[in-house]
Amino acid sequence: MNFLRGCVAPKNILSDNELDNLASLTTMDRDEVDKQYQRFLSHHKNGKMTPRSFQSLLRQSCPGMSDGDLKKITKHIFRMYDTNLDGNVDFREFLITLHVMKEGSPEQNLKQIFRVFDINSDGVISLKELSKIVRDLHEKGEDILAKTAFDEMDTDHDGMIDESEFVSACLKRRKASTSIALKIVTLFVD
């Protein structure tokens, strides 16, 4: 008698189709995706990375950062990975975001970084949101920098920065805008 007949595979197991899909999206070979998946599962048994486990991972990248600062930064960076906004990061979200940050075009990277600044995930960045991120990054002259960057990015002067305005300002290398975005990028480079 087969006890597995009719049972559904655990949700954290990737199907062959999912492995193939992730391989094509990341330009990795299927075996490498599976290897990365097994490694992910060895650290996150239920197939999900919680904000707390994400903070532990970020701690490795930022060993000198204080616990308070790390907690603030983790919350912001976590939004970039949690693309379905369920409060966890699954392997698909993790792998695709890492791939974009490593191999993506500058525009793709900036679209990911936009999520860091969009604190309430409504698709736009307010001056209040931008100021909070700049403050949490401990940038010198934070109020002036946030206001200057906001003015550089808000090209339609509607009081909000959408993704295209953010990307455009950074690609045009506007000084304050680029400075803030690069601060996020350095967390990945370090």
| Helix ranges, the chain (H) | 16-26, 30-43, 51-61, 67-81, 91-103, 106-117, 127-136, 142-153, 163-171, 175-189
Q: According to the model, what pLDDT value does residue 128 have?
A: 96
User: Would you state the structure tokens that stand for residue 64, as one six-digit string?
Assistant: 């000198």
In sequence order, what are the residues at sequence separation of 6 or more whose Cβ sits closer than 8 angstroms to the Cβ of residue 175? 148, 152
| β-sheet bridge partners, residue 157 | none
Does the global pTM surpass 0.85?
no
3 is a domain residue: no
**CA angle centred on 78, ends 77 and 80, rounded to 5°:** 70
* Alpha-carbon separation of residue 57 from 40, 66, 181 (angstroms): 11, 14, 21
Sign of the torsion formed by the C-alpha atoms of 88, 66, 118 and 111: negative
> Are 181 and 129 in a shared domain?
yes
Residue 62: burial class (beta carbons within 10 Å; 0-12, 13-18, 19+): middle
pLDDT of residue 149: 93
Would you say residue 10 lies in a domain? no
Are residues 95 and 129 located together in one domain of the fold? Answer: no
pLDDT at 55: 92
The reported pLDDT for the residue numbered 165 is: 96
Q: Is 144 found in the same domain as 110?
A: yes
Do the beta carbons of residue 116 and residue 79 sit within 8 Å? yes
CATH number for the domain harbouring residue 116: 1.10.238.10
Q: Which of 103, 118, 142 is the last residue of a domain?
A: 103
Both 130 and 54 in one domain: the answer is: no
- In terms of domains, do 27 and 68 share one? yes
Write down which residue in 71, 86, 103 finishes a domain.
103
Residues 45 and 114 in one domain: no
Q: Give the mean pLDDT per block of 10 residues along the chain (190 residues).
A: 38 80 90 93 91 90 84 91 94 93 91 94 96 84 87 96 95 87 73
Note down the domain range covering 47.
Answer: 15-103
Radius of gyration of the chain (CA): 19
Residue 6 lies in a domain: no
